[in-house]
Amino acid sequence: MIEVQSLNHTFKIGKKGKEKKIEVLKNIDFHINQGEIIAIVGKSGSGKSTLLQVVAGFMKPDTGSVKVNNTEIAKFNEKQSAAFRLDHFGFIFQNFQLLPNQNVFENVELPLKLKGVQPSIRKHNVEKILEKVGLSHVADHYPNELSGGQQQRVSIARALITNPPIILADEPTGSLDSQTEIEILDLIKHLNKSANITFMIITHDEEVAQIAHRKLRMHDGLLLGDVKHVI
């Protein structure tokens, strides 16, 4: 489903004319099969979040290939990347990234609006997904009226609303207490098993990585290992 080959990426720092190149991703190779949960584990600065950004098409690699369902996305222009993301990816972030001036229903509905889905279908689909994640009773609430766990469930509902085959999650439990983390991880496992959704999870937390079928470790831009789990 996702195949990354010979991926390299650098950042430039310093004043123009005196820039210094920092290697962030160094010859990365890995694949993710349909229906897998993959954890990319590493300390802050190891390159794992940059890897997610490149896989999602938010950044272009210096060299290398990123294929999703056999489609090469590394050479897409910005418009092509945005359209591809809308059809193939859902996103879960540590800081939720909810729109503060829109209620739960409206936040979850947004991707369907971007896809041009009719209002009646949007309403049906949003109500269905909110029920699935246990948030029907707060559909008219705003993000600042919700707990951290509820906000992350809204983020998960928004990620699911377009029925994407792949969800990319960047530290999805990083802002949550331990009990809420367990609940969110249980929800991810349920979605993986019930809907065969593929998850790529970026984390520094070994407990989060335990829910993955495979764990890949990053250090200083290098992908060091691939450990299989039985879950």
Sign of CA dihedral 94, 97, 103, 109: negative
Judged against a pLDDT cut of 90, whether residue 230 lies above it is answered with no
The three-class DSSP label of residue 29 is strand
2-42 pLDDT per residue, tens: 999 999 999 888 777 777 888 999 999 999 999 999 999 99
What values do phi and psi take at 72, rounded to 5? -75, 115
Position 229 scores a pLDDT of: 64
Judged against a pLDDT cut of 80, whether residue 227 lies above it is answered with no
Position 168 scores a pLDDT of: 97
- Is residue 87 classed exposed, middle or buried when 0-12, 13-18 and 19+ CB atoms within 10 A define those classes? exposed
Judged against a pLDDT cut of 90, whether residue 225 lies above it is answered with no
The token pair at 100 is 């503060």
Determine the Cα–Cα distance for residues 182 and 186; give it in Å rounded to an integer: 6
64-82 pLDDT per residue, tens: 999 999 999 988 999 999 9
171 vs 225, residue with greater confidence: 171
pLDDT grade, residue 175 (50/70/90)? confident
Position 143 scores a pLDDT of: 96
This prediction's pTM: 0.91
Which structural domains are found in the chain, ordered by start?
Answer: 2-228 (3.40.50.300)
- Is residue 56 classed exposed, middle or buried when 0-12, 13-18 and 19+ CB atoms within 10 A define those classes? buried
Average pLDDT over residues 85-108: 95
Percent of the chain with pLDDT over 70: 98
Judged against a pLDDT cut of 70, whether residue 231 lies above it is answered with no
Position 183 scores a pLDDT of: 93
The token pair at 153 is 């469930």
Determine the Cα–Cα distance for residues 193 and 36; give it in Å rounded to an integer: 9
The token pair at 78 is 């910005």
109-147 pLDDT per residue, tens: 999 999 999 999 999 999 999 999 999 999 999 999 999
Determine the Cα–Cα distance for residues 137 and 160; give it in Å rounded to an integer: 19
Average pLDDT over residues 141-162: 96
The token pair at 122 is 């949007």
